[in-house]
Every structure is written in structure tokens, then in C-alpha cells.
Amino acid sequence: MFPPACAGCDGSSTPTTAFCDVCRPVAPRLTPPYCARCAVPMTTFDADDDAADGADAPSECSRCRKESPSFDAVVACWEYDEAVADAMRRIKYGGDLPALRALCRGARPWFRRQLQRLADDTPLVPVPTHPVQLRRRGFHVPNLALRWLGIADRTRHLLRKVRPTPQQAGLSLAERKKNVRDVFHAPNDTPPGAHAVIFDDVMTTGATADAAAAALKNAGFERVSIVVLARAVS
């Protein structure tokens, strides 16, 4: 009866998209070339990279080549731009769950395509929150998103968060890394597999993704990828 709401404002959108016509142009999909490991556009960190004459262009950005993260690959549905950032603020700090539902509605076809590329037994592992933080907020964005993306049946809760962490927003990369060091644990009885995919709503610096991936690698997974709704690219 009513057109669905836009995830970024109070406008209306079509049943298959997350954003209205006003918000959509500032929510571009990530386009290549981007780093094969962390998915930032190659120009972000490679502007001053002087590749040797005739050498193939590197597939990873200079930051990943300098200090390799624990994850092997990142895919993101959207760039974390203003429209997505607005939506995430509404969701996380305003409890605007219809906005999250709208985001998931828009991202659903993209997620379906990503899952088709994975082996049937590849677990989708949400980045967990700490029970104290869950009680404070009342909902867990990654778990709700997986449900509303229609892929909860692929979910396996292989990680737990062993202590609450302070807000990461506004902190430097070094501070973020310190906050999340050893914060995720995979239970010892986790049967390791060849590949696990970590799911989170947003990836900014990658510090959280790195810590979560390190825990799954410690548990014996050979390859760990990251899939997110949105990825900050600058």
C-alpha cells in the first residue's frame, strides 16, 4: 500500500532498492580496479607507487603489501558514502530497524550472487558483539542483517567477543587495532575448514575484520574472506 522507505532518508524507494532517487546517486557500487585483498581502490594507497618498467601492476595495495592483514579478500556491496553512513547512524544510534531492513532489501540480489560463488559448506560468520554491548543496544546489526538478507541459514556463530570494546569511530588505525587485539575467539571445538566468510555491516579501517579473521585462522581455517554491506574506501 505504501512504497518502501529509503534507508538514507524519509523518502520512498522502489521495492527492490535500498535508496530513493535522491540518495541513490551517492551510493555507488565499488568498481575496479581495487586491491585484491582489502578492496580499496588501488589509487588510494598506490598513487606514489613507482612500478618497475614492464612489471605487472600489483594486485594488492601498498598498505596490504607492507603489512598483510589476516583476511584474504574483501567484497562489499556498496561504498560507505554519506547515504550509507546516514543510514547506519539511523540504525545504530536511533534504532531505525526499518532502515536496516531497507538496506538489506537493496543488497539482497548482490548477496545472493556472492553466495552462489561459495562452496555449500562455507560458513558465513557474523562479527559478534559482547553480551554487555548487546544488552545496551538491544539488537545486533550483523545478525539482523543476515536474517533480512535471507541468508541466516548459512550463518554459523563461530566467533565470540571476549570483552566489550570502546566505540571505534573517531579513533586512529593504531588505536582501533589496539582495541580489538585478541578480542575475538573461536571456540576450540570449531571444526576448521578450508574457507570461512566473515560478515559485518560496515568495514572502515579493517581493524575489526583483521582481528576476527586472525581468530578464525588461529582456529585452523585456511582462507578467510570478508563480506560487508559497505566498505569505506578512503
- Does 58 bind Zn ion (CB under 5 A)? Our answer is no
Map grid coordinates 587485539 to a residue.
Answer: 181
| Pairing verdict, β 195-203 and 223-231 | parallel
Q: How far apart are CA 34 and CA 233, in angstroms?
A: 10
Map grid coordinates 535500498 to a residue.
Answer: 18
- Does 41 bind Zn ion (CB under 5 A)? Our answer is no
Nearer to Zn ion, 99 or 151 (CB): 99
Number of residues that bind Zn ion (CB under 5 A): 11
- Does 64 bind Zn ion (CB under 5 A)? Our answer is yes
Q: What's the alpha-carbon Rg for the chain, to the nearest Å? A: 18
Nearer to Zn ion, 8 or 128 (CB): 8
- Does 212 bind Zn ion (CB under 5 A)? Our answer is no
Q: Could you give phi then psi for residue 227, rounded to 5 degrees? A: -125, 130
Q: Given the rule CB under 5 A, which of 46-54, 58-66, 90-98, 108-116 is the region that contacts Zn ion?
A: 58-66
- Does 151 bind Zn ion (CB under 5 A)? Our answer is no
H and E: helices and strands count for the chain? 8, 6
Positions touching Zn ion (CB under 5 A) are: 6, 8-9, 11, 20, 23, 35, 37-38, 61, 64
